Amino acid sequence: MPAISVTTLYGHDNRIPLVQIEVPNGKAQLTVEEAEDLARNIVHGCEASLTDAFLIEFFQRAEWRLEDHIVWGIIREFREWREARIAKPPQEEAHIT
């Protein structure tokens, strides 16, 4: 795995706190807000990857024995559903008292 490092910076001239991310081929300097957004995206990506893995393995188990093309069709539909839900979350359900 390539080395990735994260350091903090403070702009002496502009007085803005920054986060610097370095990878072998370059680096990026992000505002705190951009770094927080990136961190959320990484966490969401990790969660999505684990969910995808679970679904694939679940549908390939002996009880289901679904063929790969069927499993990948389900995964594709689930990913589209997940992306649409992230882009436009459902309205909060009305609570009846």
Asked if 55 and 74 touch (Cβ cutoff 8 Å), the reply is yes
Q: Is residue 96 predicted with pLDDT exceeding 70?
A: no
pLDDT at 97: 47
**pTM (global) more than 0.85:** no
pLDDT tens digits along 35-78 = 999 999 999 999 999 999 999 999 988 788 899 999 999 999 99
Write down the domain spans for the chain: 5-87
**CB-neighbour burial class of residue 61 (10 A; exposed 0-12, middle 13-18, buried 19+):** exposed
